Amino acid sequence: MAPNDTELATQTLAEEGSYRFPSFSASDAVTLGLSLRKRFRSTSRHSKGKGMVISIQTIAGHTLFSCTVGDLGHFSGIGDVSLDSWSFLEGMINVVKRTGHSSFYVEKAMSAMGRSAKHLFEGQDMPAKVQGGAFPIWLENAHCCPIAVVACYSGSSQEDHHLVVTSVRDYINKMLRNSAAAPSGASVAPSMPAPSVSHRPESGEWAHETATSEYTSSRRPETPYDRHEDEH
């Protein structure tokens, strides 16, 4: 029996809470985006002529990765990658920015409550597309808001969501494995030879040496007249 909308929304919410990055950089965005592209190209949907648009951007809108998979003039005659595809993708990203949740969760949660997207984005200037495929990128130690959004659009809500979630999950697991395999980094610095410190006499010793040296230097050399005075 297929899960209902409530169960799908609950499952998606659990995914959002579980799949959080230890860190996320522009290089991570490129690697994750290329992984999405590679995975989609290996699907039967792509072999049948389906295309996809992919975008990863910060929550402020700075693009970190963007690409198209497929061509408008495919030899099969299916031209499903167009400017409308990018417009739909931006609408899905806006859903994540607006709610902080994946577009698939918003779609299923609103459907379970019997509400439409018009209630959520009523009076908003930003275009919205409530369909699965856009997923928030959270950091483990930042719980206030997601820092970025990874999204793909090929026309299938559930399949696009599944592709993004599995790619995010596998990439996080790879980061954790690499982190565990890396050396701790706490290298021991080579020991430096101890500098030679000249002997410093104690205060009493110093005073004795000083007094002796002063007394010795103040005595004039003995002369024959001194011996003559001693005899008398």
Cα–Cα dist 24/139, whole Å: 8
- For residue 150, give both structure tokens: 């990874």
Cα–Cα dist 215/209, whole Å: 10
- In this prediction, residues 203-209 reach a mean pLDDT of 50
- In this prediction, residues 172-196 reach a mean pLDDT of 70
The answer, yes or no, to whether residue 36 has pLDDT greater than 90, is: yes
Question: What domains sit in the chain, N to C, each tagged with a CATH number?
Answer: 5-180 (3.30.450.150)
77 — pLDDT class (breaks 50, 70, 90) = low
The answer, yes or no, to whether residue 93 has pLDDT greater than 60, is: yes
Q: Which residues contact 75 (CB under 8 A, 6 or more apart)?
A: 49
Q: In degrees rounded to 5, what are phi and psi of residue 64?
A: -105, -30
Contact 165, 50 (CB under 8 A): no
β-strand partners of 149: 57, 136
Instruction: Give CA separation, 131 vs 39, 50, 218, 222, in Å.
Output: 20, 18, 104, 114
Q: What percent of the chain has pLDDT over 70?
A: 74
